[in-house]
Amino acid sequence: MNYVGLMGRLTRDPELKQTSSGKSYCRFSIAVKKEFVKDGVDFINCVAWDKRAEFIANYFGKGQRILVQGRINVGSYEVNGEKRNSFDVVVDRAEFIETQSNSGSSFDKNADTNDYIDTVDDPDDGEDFPF
């Protein structure tokens, strides 16, 4: 099974791009704290496609916390005849971790993220429930 879940902060604003065939994508990097290393951080490269890419590019910004879920994609390339490997997380899901006002980041996009937050009213008491 190839499954990854990461929580961290965006290192820069995601930039929406398109392939030559018109498919939307965005590449971004997140800084993820190492749990047992003081001041340790891993910088993880991620890529999102289509609607997910548009969502991330429109509603997330540098410094904002993000939760991503996806899979690891391994690629290879050559530099001066030397083969190198690359690793990216292909994002299947992205979620907000905090509201814009609580993020402490420089994120300042004019987006109404409330359209993406599900809310449920709590009942006043449990007397109407059949159990």
Q: Report the candidate in 84, 89, 77 with the shortest Cα–Cα distance to residue 43.
A: 89
- Name residues whose C-beta falls within 8 Å of residue 126's C-beta, 6 or more positions apart in sequence: none
pTM of the predicted structure, to 2 decimals = 0.71
Domain count, the chain: 1
Per-residue pLDDT of the chain (131 residues; tens, 9 = 90+): 999 999 999 999 999 999 999 999 999 999 999 988 888 999 999 999 999 999 999 999 999 999 999 999 999 999 999 999 999 999 999 999 976 555 454 444 444 444 433 333 334 444 444 43
CATH code of 38's domain: 2.40.50.140
Residue 107 lies in a domain: no
Q: How far is CA 114 from CA 71, 95, 111, in A?
A: 28, 13, 9
User: The domain containing residue 33 runs over which residues?
Assistant: 4-96
Distance, CA of 101 to chain centre: 18
Residue 117 lies in a domain: no
- Name residues whose C-beta falls within 8 Å of residue 90's C-beta, 6 or more positions apart in sequence: 46, 47, 48, 49, 70, 71, 72, 73
Residue 84 lies in a domain: yes
Residue 104 lies in a domain: no
